[in-house]
Amino acid sequence: MILDSKIPEGPLAEKWSKHKFNLKLVNPANKRKYTVIVIGSGLAGSSAAASLAELGYNVKVFCFQDSPRRAHSIAAQGGINAAKNYRNDGDSVYRLFYDTIKGGDYRAREANVHRLAEESVNIIDQCVAQGVPFAREYGGLLDNRSFGGSQVSRTFYARGQTGQQLLLGAYSALNRQINAGTVKMYNRHEMLDVVVVDGKAQGVITRNLISGEIESHAGHAVLLCTGGYGNVFYLSTNAMGSNTTAIWRAHKKGAFFGNPCYTQIHPTCIPVSGDHQSKLTLMSESLRNDGRVWVPKTQAMAEQIRKGQLKASDVKEEDRDYFLERKYPSFGNLVPRDVASRNAKEAFDDGRGVGGSGKAVYLDFSDAIRRLGKAAIEAKYGNLFDMYYQITDENPYEQPMRIYPAVHYTMGGLWVDYNLMTTIPGLYALGECNFSDHGANRLGASALMQGLADGYFVIPYTLGDYLAGIGPKPVDTTHPAFAEAKKGVEDRINKLLSLKGTKTVDEYHRELGNIMWEYCGMARNEEGLTKAIGLIQDLKKDFWQNAIVLGANEELNMSLEKANRVADFIELGELMVRDALHRRESCGGHFREESQTEEGEALRNDDEFAYVAAWQFVGEDQPEQLHKEALVYENVKLTQRSYK
């Protein structure tokens, strides 16, 4: 199958506006005859649902939490980019486009990224109109900051909770439509399958998480806005419920999966404190502006620290290795996320990690405190320091913080064309769950931007084109495809509920996470990846025999919910490993050990790998089929990233 990305013709800056003009429109009187199903109520889902409902479509929205406002977008801290150039510091749509392409290590589509940069400015206007309380300056105008090593100040923020404020904006727009009767909201519902009728997505099967009822819902199109799958690693900064189920089921129904192995690992997270750890907490990247990263120079000294015989503050200056400053003199502690993360892992691999488990490096503020005073540091980072203290019981004003990288974002996801449609007609993917605009590495503050661009400003146009094409003939759940999909879901639930083995689902999840982190994390190699495939396949077999799943379907049953999700993670894990195995280059968020420069830095291979890997499911327990969408760069020159 040839992947058609449907990128419009013409000069880069005109593609989107021309395309919008060329898209078919739905007659206003007909809009209410269409039903659109939206799965997910995060930034992507809420913004899409509200905007479509405003246009007049009937919308049904599903989320597994008890309220749409709890979608994981709520947790984003840092900010959202927009090329407003309010600072007069040289920002522009083109610069944002360029930075995003470069940040993504030249593995994203030019046309998509340019559209994203164009729409970024509208997002801020929209959010402000909704009453989103972005940070302001004394003059009353919006404040901006520079984020993630960017050269311009283009990040809009709302204290440390930009995600919550943006989501509350989108949620309020959604509420308005619920009140108007154009959106019907289904909380505590989990989508368990897509229904495909005559090759087109025409509905979903969901489970009511309270009553266990398996329901069929029909619609003219289905929008998946279900977020990232970082929890395949068990430990990540994602919420406990974040999962892959919706996109994985869609994948098994025919939607290709794009670049599954592209994972972002964030360098500044609070380290694991023990086996009981259930998730990891992100600490804002801004900390690296004033904190200096180091480990002891010798393994012996690190050993002493780990045993508690030596305190970090007692390590003499000459015994400290400020490895980022040493290796990257011009960027120092502000190197991009992937570089900082990888170097921390190297320190650990070298036996120089600190903290009880050794899985940590120091982020030291003592210099900054000396230079700027404690009060200044407190004003800047007080809440982060408090949070750190809450979790670790250590005072970062006195002892350096301990940080370690953690899985944070998945750039991979369902493959979509320029219209955000997957390879199943009528099935769309928006936000983090599509393979997105971030290439192999996402820039800070751009996921929020993408989710909202997709929902507010792209899908209202592109979906109309599809709907106008299929016409407003009524759809319902009587087609045999619904019964068949429903039966598939029920069978699977019954099968899960029959598992009365000896290992808990969490144990499987943790094991999967260990495999993924070990072999498919920041640094990967052929041997490890090959081994991981075997390990995962064994795990899958074992899971379906030995897991314990308790209770019944007809109740709130977290045991069943978890099992259902972990079973999908295991399958996705294998695909991620296969994708990582085939990509014999270092790019973006990950380092392929076989592909490095003489100095040990990441080496991209544009000749062989400048493409999107789109995987097709061909049958249970069979290796998936790879399709390639070549990436064509007409506007930017591909260069090797260097932060020396």
Ligand X SMILES: Cc1cc2nc3c(=O)[nH]c(=O)nc-3n(C[C@H](O)[C@H](O)[C@H](O)COP(=O)(O)OP(=O)(O)OC[C@H]3O[C@@H](n4cnc5c(N)ncnc54)[C@H](O)[C@@H]3O)c2cc1C
What's the chain's Rg over C-alpha atoms? 24
The residue nearest ligand X at its CB is 42
Cα–Cα distances (Å) from 391 to 26, 199, 358, 388, in that order, read 52, 50, 18, 5
Closest CB to ligand X among residues 109, 189: 189
Query: Contact, 294 vs 323, CB < 8 A?
Result: yes
Beta bridge partners of 421: 428
DSSP 183-240: EEEE-SEEEEEEEEETTEEEEEEEEETTT--EEEEE-SEEEE-----GGGGSSSSS-T
Which entry of another protein, ligand X, none binds 245, CB below 5 to 8 A by partner kind?
A: ligand X
CB of 516 to ligand X, least distance (A): 17
Beta bridge partners of 38: 61, 223
CB of 45 to ligand X, least distance (A): 6
Report the chain's terminal Cα–Cα distance, integer Å. Answer: 42
Which entry of ligand X, another protein, none binds 446, CB below 5 to 8 A by partner kind?
A: ligand X
User: Which of the residues 185 through 244 are near ligand X (CB under 6 A)?
Assistant: 190-191, 225-228, 237-238, 242-243
Which entry of ligand X, another protein, none binds 42, CB below 5 to 8 A by partner kind?
A: ligand X
Which entry of another protein, ligand X, none binds 44, CB below 5 to 8 A by partner kind?
A: ligand X
3-class DSSP state for residue 37? strand
Closest CB to ligand X among residues 19, 189: 189
> What DSSP designation does 416 have?
-
Determine the Cα–Cα distance for residues 605 and 611; give it in Å rounded to an integer: 11
Closest CB to another protein among residues 469, 551: 551
Determine the Cα–Cα distance for residues 583 and 579; give it in Å rounded to an integer: 6
CB of 401 to ligand X, least distance (A): 17
Beta bridge partners of 222: 37, 427
Q: Is 337 a catalytic residue?
A: yes
CB of 452 to ligand X, least distance (A): 9
User: Which of the residues 63 through 82 are near ligand X (CB under 6 A)?
Assistant: 63-65, 71-73, 75-80
CB of 631 to ligand X, least distance (A): 22
* Residue 460 engages ligand X in binding (rule: CB under 6 A): no
Residue with tokens 């897991």: 547
* Residue 448 engages ligand X in binding (rule: CB under 6 A): yes
Q: At what angle do helices 245-252 and 558-582 cross, to 10 degrees?
A: 60
* Residue 420 engages ligand X in binding (rule: CB under 6 A): no
CB of 142 to another protein, least distance (A): 6
Phi, psi (deg, nearest 5) at residue 417: -85, -175
Which entry of another protein, ligand X, none binds 138, CB below 5 to 8 A by partner kind?
A: another protein
Which entry of another protein, ligand X, none binds 187, CB below 5 to 8 A by partner kind?
A: another protein
Closest CB to ligand X among residues 409, 456: 409
Query: Contact, 38 vs 20, CB < 8 A?
Result: no
Determine the Cα–Cα distance for residues 442 and 431; give it in Å rounded to an integer: 13
Which entry of another protein, ligand X, none binds 586, CB below 5 to 8 A by partner kind?
A: none
* Residue 245 engages ligand X in binding (rule: CB under 6 A): yes
Query: Contact, 257 vs 618, CB < 8 A?
Result: no
User: Which of the residues 128 through 167 are near ligand X (CB under 6 A)?
Assistant: 162-163
Q: Which stretch binds ligand X (CB under 6 A): 117-125, 385-393, 440-448, 619-627?
A: 440-448
DSSP 484-522: HHHHHHHHHHHHHHT-B-SEEHHHHHHHHHHHHHHHHSS
Six-digit token pair at 181?
């009767």
H or E segment to which residue 384 belongs? helix 374-392
Determine the Cα–Cα distance for residues 589 and 104; give it in Å rounded to an integer: 9
Determine the Cα–Cα distance for residues 610 and 107; give it in Å rounded to an integer: 6
H or E segment to which residue 628 belongs? strand 625-630
Query: Contact, 58 vs 37, CB < 8 A?
Result: no
Closest CB to ligand X among residues 347, 414: 414
Determine the Cα–Cα distance for residues 429 and 463; give it in Å rounded to an integer: 11
3-class DSSP state for residue 523? strand
* Residue 432 engages ligand X in binding (rule: CB under 6 A): yes
Indicate which single residue of 16, 362, 409, 461 sits in contact with ligand X (rule: CB under 6 A).
409
The set of residues, in sequence order, having a beta carbon less than 8 Å from that of 68 and lying 6+ positions away, is 41, 45, 46, 61, 171, 174, 185, 187
Which entry of another protein, ligand X, none binds 66, CB below 5 to 8 A by partner kind?
A: another protein
> What DSSP designation does 620 have?
T
Dihedral sign, CA of 303, 308, 309, 312? positive
CB of 318 to ligand X, least distance (A): 37
Query: Contact, 45 vs 223, CB < 8 A?
Result: yes
CB of 292 to ligand X, least distance (A): 23
CB of 554 to another protein, least distance (A): 9
Determine the Cα–Cα distance for residues 532 and 519; give it in Å rounded to an integer: 6
Closest CB to ligand X among residues 228, 396: 228
User: Hey, which bits of 338-489 come out as E strands?
Assistant: 361-364, 401-410, 413-414, 427-429
CB of 229 to another protein, least distance (A): 16
Cβ neighbours around 197 below 10 Å, total: 17
Closest CB to another protein among residues 87, 200: 87
Active-site position among 337, 342, 578, 604: 337
Determine the Cα–Cα distance for residues 446 and 461; give it in Å rounded to an integer: 21
CB of 229 to ligand X, least distance (A): 10
Which entry of ligand X, another protein, none binds 509, CB below 5 to 8 A by partner kind?
A: none
Which entry of ligand X, another protein, none binds 168, CB below 5 to 8 A by partner kind?
A: another protein
Number of residues binding to ligand X, judged by CB under 6 A? 45
Which entry of ligand X, another protein, none binds 225, CB below 5 to 8 A by partner kind?
A: ligand X
Residues of this chain that bind ligand X (CB under 6 A)? 39-45, 62-65, 71-73, 75-80, 162-163, 190-191, 225-228, 237-238, 242-243, 245-246, 282, 408-409, 431-433, 445-448, 451
What residues act catalytically? 337
